[in-house]
Structure 1
Amino acid sequence: MNNYSHIFREGLWKNNIVLNQSLALCPLLAVTSSATNGLGLGLATTAVMIASNVLVSLGKNWISKAVRIPVNVVIIATLVTLTDFALNAWLHPLHKVLGLFIPLIVTNCAILGRVESFASKSNVMSSLVDGIAMGIGFTWVLTILGGIREVIGSGSLFANASLLLGEWSSFLEITVIPEYRGLLLIILPPGGFLVLGALLGVKQKFELIIKNRQLQAVATH
């Protein structure tokens, strides 16, 4: 539980919310039509995940097991509401794009699952690290998926990032393929399934290569 490097490996790769647990696929497929949208939703989810992990870990000794799940849901719902208000107040363009998928973070099984399986049984620091790792793991998949769909679908990358995330992010806006007419299928939800399937295949292939190299290394010794 206190091996932070192990927790990070689990969250970023080995037990990734999307690539391994296949959770949160609904917002993932609907929102990731661009890298900017994927990054925005990923960061919002990460903030909720970190805060909920820490709060549940702090209160685990005072919350009865009989009401633990309802209490955890209320904590997550409160944090999501605050996140929704904050985005609406300070990042209104992003809030308009993400729309209903911000409130739907409440129903994200990944958050409630980590709260139940990890934060309710671990100390505050471990829960904090777990929330960061799982959140970053979720965010990088959303951003990569959105980036691939955006490049193939419209020939750009992080389009309108400065409008959604602020002027500081204007350097992210890139026109990858000038005068590109785009491929609508990739931007639509079916395209999300196609790109996600490709990512899963690449991950499986990568892990197989690593495993074979480890077996070869053992055999040589």
Structure 2
Amino acid sequence: MAVGLQAESSVTPADFWDGVWKRNPVFVQVLGMCPVLAVTNTAMNALAMGLATSFVLLMSNIVVSLIRGIVPKQIRIVTFILVIATFVTIVDYVIQAISLDLHKTLGAFISLIVVNCLILGRAEAFASKNGTFRSVLDALGMGIGFTLALLCLGGVREIMGAGSLFGVRLLGASYQEWVVMMLPPGGFFTLAGWLLLIQWFNQRSADKAKDVAS
């Protein structure tokens, strides 16, 4: 009990905000690249996959943090995968019930959430070593960061590739659509562009901090 109270007392805002920006799963840690590149051809697909992954991440972190004291070390990875797979199955059925078209579009990538290194990594590296409240904050930060990253990619690809956003036409009929942005190579181009922009921003912030310090 004392250990649990000590873990909860060390909660900091960084438990949440680091996942959103400083340790963003996509733009910093470069995790979960399979769904990031495969399903972000539209903003709606990106949002659906981001929310689905965030739900699984949140629920698995909660369960793992609750059972961490009773799971033997020899079977902890298998146990974590079973927990994650349970929530992935729930998400799969929910998406299928809400929209069959969306379920067909996301396809096998819903099931592949089970092996998403982001979710298993947070369960093993964080939730299994910290209390429930910290694990919830960690999951929310990482989930929001992952979803925002997918939306950044999906929004750019849909606007440039189809002239629309969430299915709403933004550009006129004279706009020449970049079909390549809707294809797999478009995911690599867009991700590279975002990584370059974020690296430039971080470097500029670091240079300003050095100037202020000097």
What's 2:3 paired with?
none
Runs of 4 or more, structure 1, over 6 Å off, are none
* Deviation by residue 1:133-171 (Cα, 9 ceiling, x = unmatched): 100000000011000001111100111xxxxxxxxxxxx
Instruction: Show the 5 A alignment for 1:140-179.
Output: 140-159=148-167, 173=168, 175-179=169-173
Deviation at 1:72, TM superposition (A): 0.3
Whether 1:195 aligns to 2:203 is no
Deviation at 1:13, TM superposition (A): 1.1
Which of residues 65, 87, 104 is equivalent to 2:95?
87
Deviation at 1:218, TM superposition (A): 1.1
Give the counterpart letter for 1:187 in structure 2.
Answer: M
Deviation at 1:216, TM superposition (A): 1.2
Q: Which runs of 5 or more residues in structure 1 are unaligned? A: 160-172
Give the counterpart letter for 2:35 in structure 1.
Answer: P
What's 2:25 paired with?
17
What's 1:170 paired with?
none
Which of residues 120, 126, 146 is equivalent to 2:134?
126
Give the counterpart letter for 2:109 in structure 1.
Answer: F
What's 1:137 paired with?
145
Normalized against structure 2, the TM-score is what? Answer: 0.93
How far apart, in 1, do the equivalents of 2:12 and 2:20 lie?
12
Deviation at 1:178, TM superposition (A): 1.4
Preserved contact between residue 17 and residue 110 of structure 1 (Cα < 8 Å): yes
What's 1:33 paired with?
41
Aligned-residue Cα RMSD (Å) equals 1.1
Deviation at 1:94, TM superposition (A): 1.9
Deviation at 1:195, TM superposition (A): 0.6
Percent identity between the aligned chains? Answer: 43
How far apart, in 2, do the equivalents of 1:134 and 1:197 lie?
21
Aligned positions, number: 205
Give the counterpart letter for 2:55 in structure 1.
Answer: A
Deviation at 1:80, TM superposition (A): 0.3
How far apart, in 1, do the equivalents of 2:153 and 2:15 lie?
23
Q: Which runs of 5 or more residues in structure 2 are unaligned? A: 1-6
What's 2:109 paired with?
101
How far apart, in 2, do the equivalents of 1:7 and 1:127 lie?
8
* Deviation by residue 1:89-147 (Cα, 9 ceiling, x = unmatched): 12333212211110110010110000000000000000011111100000000011000
Whether 1:185 aligns to 2:180 is yes
Deviation at 1:74, TM superposition (A): 0.5
Which of residues 33, 36, 59 is equivalent to 1:51?
59
What's 1:63 paired with?
71
Normalized against structure 1, the TM-score is what? Answer: 0.90
Deviation at 1:19, TM superposition (A): 1.1
How far apart, in 2, do the equivalents of 1:91 and 1:131 lie?
26
Whether 1:42 aligns to 2:50 is yes
How far apart, in 1, do the equivalents of 2:176 and 2:42 lie?
16
